[in-house]
């Protein structure tokens, strides 16, 4: 059994009230009593219950986080930054890794509610009606990070996914590519599915390039699906000279598929990814990618959530849109100059 306050009192030879006064840092407690109590606390390994104190303070310093898949390079990096920023501010994380399980998400949101977390961060946007109902009823501050679901009142910390996809596609066009394949996300997702696809389509249209229907596929953001979608695209001859995948993991899957077909990146096929995760530097050729400012996104998410929790004046009233940035590495070839 964990030692209780009365055990401390007994060990120190003082009353429970005295222990309590020492713990609360009250003035006018004699130094020798303080020392005796502190020694008893150390000897017994006593810690005041966070649970009991939470009931009084009405604050738990917990943040609940819903992450779609912690094994993805994007989410593990943003989670790491969220944890770091939260910890620096004295908050601890309850983490739920949902992997497309809405029942689990609903259950976890209820746990967050029961645990009286001070705030919630959600990093996906496939909200079913039950989840939508629940979060709309909650009185806990909620913020979305990297996604912007439709029809909800909460603030998001995101990039402009439409513009970022537009710019990635335009980069390939400016390198002289005209047959540009696309490996998209889940089209039920607005941010990373629909918005990025719309940006791709618009960039092609603005440059007078017809949509290459045979070379457009949709995956689930993971490496394996990038591989499989690329295989289907390569089966459609003539193959494209470039492909844009909307996650780095899928782009790496596509590069591996191209390699396994005896073709070279970028000599035979240019590949551009999306996210700017650490995977871009781990593969050869190094992956050109449309970067989200992942570290900043994690930090700003926590900062904004804390503003909501602490109801600061001038707290966030609207979405925070961070800057995307193309980082050119070795996976795209300039076909105009025949490099």
Q: Is 87 in the site for its own copies (CB under 8 A)?
A: yes
Single residue of 54, 89, 152, 236 touching its own copies by CB under 8 A = 54
- Which of 318, 334, 305 has the alpha carbon at shortest distance from 241? 334
Between 33 and 138, CB nearer to its own copies: 138
Residues 218-237 vs its own copies: string with x where CB under 8 A?
Answer: -----x--------------
CB of 95 to its own copies, least distance (A): 5
What are the residue ranges of helices labelled H in the chain? 5-12, 16-23, 31-44, 50-57, 73-88, 102-114, 129-137, 161-174, 196-206, 223-234, 248-260, 279-282, 294-309
CB of 133 to its own copies, least distance (A): 9
CB of 292 to its own copies, least distance (A): 15
According to DSSP, residue 268 is labeled T
CB of 205 to its own copies, least distance (A): 34
CB of 50 to its own copies, least distance (A): 3
Q: Is 55 in the site for its own copies (CB under 8 A)?
A: yes
What are the residues whose beta carbons fall under 8 Å from the beta carbon of 237, sequence distance 6 or more? none
CB of 262 to its own copies, least distance (A): 12
Chain mean position to CA 47: 34
Residues 88-127 vs its own copies: string with x where CB under 8 A?
Answer: ----xxxxxx-x----x--xx-xx-xxxx-----------
- Which of 145, 126, 142, 131 has the alpha carbon at shortest distance from 74? 145
Contact between 62 and 118 under an 8 Å Cβ cutoff? The reply is yes
Interface positions, 10-49, toward its own copies (CB under 8 A): 44-45, 47-49
Contact between 242 and 177 under an 8 Å Cβ cutoff? The reply is yes
Between 49 and 323, CB nearer to its own copies: 49
Per-residue three-class SS string for 138-168: CCCCEEEECCCCCCCCCEEEEECHHHHHHHH
Tokens of 14: 């003082």
- Residue 284, helix vs strand vs coil: coil
How far, in Å, CA of 97 to CA of 309, rounded? 23
Stretch that binds its own copies, among 1-9, 145-153, 163-171, 208-216 (CB under 8 A): 1-9
CB of 71 to its own copies, least distance (A): 5
Residues 247-266 vs its own copies: string with x where CB under 8 A?
Answer: --x--xx-xx--xx------
How far, in Å, CA of 141 to CA of 306, rounded? 9
Tokens of 11: 């060990």
Interface positions, 143-182, toward its own copies (CB under 8 A): none
Between 99 and 235, CB nearer to its own copies: 99
Token pair 């070379």 is at which residue?
Answer: 215
CB of 130 to its own copies, least distance (A): 11
CB of 277 to its own copies, least distance (A): 9
Contact between 150 and 314 under an 8 Å Cβ cutoff? The reply is no
Q: Is 302 in the site for its own copies (CB under 8 A)?
A: no
Residue ranges in contact with its own copies by CB under 8 A: 1-3, 44-45, 47-55, 60, 62, 69-71, 73, 76-77, 79-80, 83-84, 87, 92-97, 99, 104, 107-108, 110-111, 113-116, 134, 137-140, 223, 249, 252-253, 255-256, 259-260, 278-279, 281-284
């Amino acid at each position: 059994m964990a030692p209780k306050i009365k055990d401390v009192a007994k060990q120190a030879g003082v009353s429970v009230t005295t222990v309590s006064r020492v713990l609360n840092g009250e003035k006018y407690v004699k130094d020798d009593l303080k020392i005796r109590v502190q020694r008893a606390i150390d000897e017994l390994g006593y810690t005041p219950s966070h649970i009991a104190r939470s009931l009084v303070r009405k604050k738990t310093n917990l943040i609940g986080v819903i992450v779609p898949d912690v094994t993805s390079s994007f989410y593990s990096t943003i989670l790491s930054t969220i944890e770091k920023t939260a910890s620096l501010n004295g908050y601890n994380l309850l983490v739920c890794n949902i992997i497309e399980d809405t029942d689990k998400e609903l259950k976890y949101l209820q746990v967050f509610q029961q645990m009286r977390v001070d705030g919630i961060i959600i990093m996906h946007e496939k909200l079913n009606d039950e989840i939508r109902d629940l979060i709309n009823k909650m009185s806990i501050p909620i913020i979305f990070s990297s996604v912007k679901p439709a029809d909800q009142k909460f603030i998001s910390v995101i990039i402009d996914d439409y513009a970022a996809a537009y710019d990635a596609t335009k980069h390939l066009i400016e390198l002289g590519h005209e047959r540009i394949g696309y490996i998209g996300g889940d089209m039920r997702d607005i941010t990373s599915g629909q918005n990025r696809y719309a940006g791709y389509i618009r960039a092609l249209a603005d440059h007078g390039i017809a949509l290459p229907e045979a070379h457009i596929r949709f995956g689930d953001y993971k490496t394996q699906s990038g591989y499989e979608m690329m295989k289907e695209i390569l089966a459609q001859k003539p193959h494209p000279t470039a492909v844009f995948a909307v996650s780095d993991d899928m782009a790496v899957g596509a590069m591996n598929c191209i390699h396994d077909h005896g073709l070279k990146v970028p000599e035979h096929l240019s590949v551009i990814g999306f996210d700017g995760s650490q995977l871009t530097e781990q593969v050869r050729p190094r992956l050109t990618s449309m970067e989200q400012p992942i570290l900043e996104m994690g930090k700003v998410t926590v900062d904004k959530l804390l503003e909501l929790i602490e109801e600061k004046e001038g707290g966030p009233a609207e979405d925070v849109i961070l800057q995307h940035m193309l980082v050119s590495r070795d996976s795209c070839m300039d076909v105009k100059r025949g490099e």
